[in-house]
Chains A and B, each alone.
Chain A
């Protein structure tokens, strides 16, 4: 007995409409599907979704980390550049300052030298004045004495009357002096 005959017999006994779903098949089909659906929906897909999210996060996270590292590197580079520029500015400032200080120092030293020179000159002047005064004083005494001696010798007698003596000398010297300033002024203008 072959299947064809079985089918033919079955076909005649049961209503053979391929568009009429037999109930057992319908139920079995639904149960079969619902088992697959339940397993996937309740157990397996949540798990794989979690892992897919994790993977996504891992990839995203790696990218973010790389980005963060790059940003940090850039900021560090910028920082170094800033520091370098700052150092450059500082060096320039120091150099400028040193130059200014040098100029000020030179000026100061020059002023000091000037002052010292003037001091020395002034000291020399006063020294010369003092010497001149001392010399003129001693000269006056010496000239007086010599003149007196000479006059004494000439008249042959000692002029003991000092009052007269000094009056004569002073008169002589005044005459000398009234001549001398005129000579000195003539020398200074020359």
Chain B
């Protein structure tokens, strides 16, 4: 099989009004499963993995070029990188955790933001055209890392009992409902949070990719006979979805990082 078959999510011969042809190939779960492209030491590399590694490469090169030899009077690249850095540092970390406590977590959250953002952006980059974060493994890994950071911070800051109180929203004044509240809070904080944290990002990118693929396939599918009448509509929808995704990609990266910051902030909070 050729490389082109690897790249495409549809059979190009499948069109409307073709005699003995096939129906519309709607995208689905299969659009998110990739054959391994090559194998290194028993590890099979597929497209999302390569894109993840490419994300690392691009980010490292970009930030290296921007920040390796920083100037007091910045060049263009440094200025762009600085504004991004400043956005996360001031806009997210200082706002959520506070300047004094938050400074320590700035590198983690800055790396997290740009990593997720770029992994999302692959969705609309020609040839890549796949959001890496729509494979649950990638958001899950990051969410687990945030979870571990958050949990260890909670217990380090408050001790075991204090940490449990922090996680279960312990408040003496609640009286009889306290056990119920503690149960719900524990369930919602400790068990559900990491799951929703990862799935929120995953599902958004998953759905966005599904929509773009569907309209793209539709554009191609209609390119025959009378179908040409519908092609422009589908194509416009592709453009609209791409623009919308560009927005969603940034928003989801922002949401993921803001939530991470607020979890960390909650761990650092004084006991009530």
Stretch at the interface among A6-14, A71-79, A87-95, A96-104: A6-14
User: Are A48's CB and B67's CB within 8 A?
Assistant: yes
Question: What residues of A have a CB within 8 angstroms of the CB of B37 in the complex?
Answer: none
Question: What residues of A have a CB within 8 angstroms of the CB of B199 in the complex?
Answer: 19
Partner of B106, one of A20, A21, A36, A45: A45
Question: What residues of A have a CB within 8 angstroms of the CB of B202 in the complex?
Answer: 18-19
Given contact pairs A25-B135, A48-B85, A33 touches B141 in the complex (Cβ within 8 A): yes
Residue A172, interface by CB 8 Å: no
User: Are B72's CB and A33's CB within 8 A?
Assistant: no
Given contact pairs A41-B107, A47-B68, A16 touches B63 in the complex (Cβ within 8 A): no
Stretch at the interface among B2-10, B163-171, B186-194, B252-260: B2-10
Stretch at the interface among B24-32, B123-131, B150-158: B24-32
Partner of A10, one of B35, B48, B53, B78: B35
Partner of B56, one of A18, A32, A50, A58: A32
Partner of B33, one of A11, A29, A41: A11
Stretch at the interface among B110-118, B176-184, B237-245: B110-118
Residue A156, interface by CB 8 Å: no
Chain B nearest CB: distance from A11 CB in Å? 6
> In the bound complex, what is the Cα–Cα distance between A21 and B136 (angstroms)?
5
Residue A28, interface by CB 8 Å: yes
User: Are B63's CB and A25's CB within 8 A?
Assistant: no
Residue A162, interface by CB 8 Å: no
Chain B nearest CB: distance from A101 CB in Å? 68
Residue A65, interface by CB 8 Å: no
Partner of A29, one of B25, B30, B52, B78: B52
Given contact pairs A25-B135, A29-B142, A7 touches B72 in the complex (Cβ within 8 A): no
Of chain A, the residue at the smallest CB distance from B27 is: A4
Residue A30, interface by CB 8 Å: yes
* Size class of the contact patch on chain B: 35 or more
Partner of B72, one of A29, A39, A54: A54
Residue A26, interface by CB 8 Å: yes
Residue B269, interface by CB 8 Å: no
Chain A 47-77 interface 0/1 with B at a Cβ cutoff of 8 Å (1 = within) = 1101110110010000000000000000000
Question: What residues of B have a CB within 8 angstroms of the CB of A6 in the complex?
Answer: 35
User: Are A33's CB and B25's CB within 8 A?
Assistant: no
Residue A22, interface by CB 8 Å: yes
> In the bound complex, what is the Cα–Cα distance between A31 and B70 (angstroms)?
27
Given contact pairs A40-B63, A40-B111, A51-B72, A3 touches B137 in the complex (Cβ within 8 A): no
Given contact pairs A45-B107, A51-B70, A51-B71, A33 touches B5 in the complex (Cβ within 8 A): no
Chain A nearest CB: distance from B78 CB in Å? 8
Residue B122, interface by CB 8 Å: no
User: Are A40's CB and B107's CB within 8 A?
Assistant: yes
> In the bound complex, what is the Cα–Cα distance between A109 and B114 (angstroms)?
102
Given contact pairs A25-B135, A39-B63, A48 touches B108 in the complex (Cβ within 8 A): no
> In the bound complex, what is the Cα–Cα distance between A7 and B53 (angstroms)?
23
User: Are A58's CB and B72's CB within 8 A?
Assistant: yes
> In the bound complex, what is the Cα–Cα distance between A28 and B53 (angstroms)?
8
- Residues of chain B touching chain A, judged by Cβ–Cβ distance below 8 Å, are 1, 5-6, 8-11, 25, 29-33, 35, 43-44, 48-49, 52-53, 55-56, 59-60, 63-64, 66-68, 70-72, 78, 81-82, 85, 106-108, 110-112, 114-115, 132, 135-138, 140-142, 145, 199, 202, 206
- Residues of chain A touching chain B, judged by Cβ–Cβ distance below 8 Å, are 1-4, 6-8, 10-11, 16, 18-30, 32-33, 35-37, 39-41, 43-45, 47-48, 50-52, 54-55, 58
A-B contact pairs, 8 of them (CB 8 A): A1-B1, A2-B5, A2-B8, A24-B43, A25-B138, A33-B112, A36-B55, A48-B66
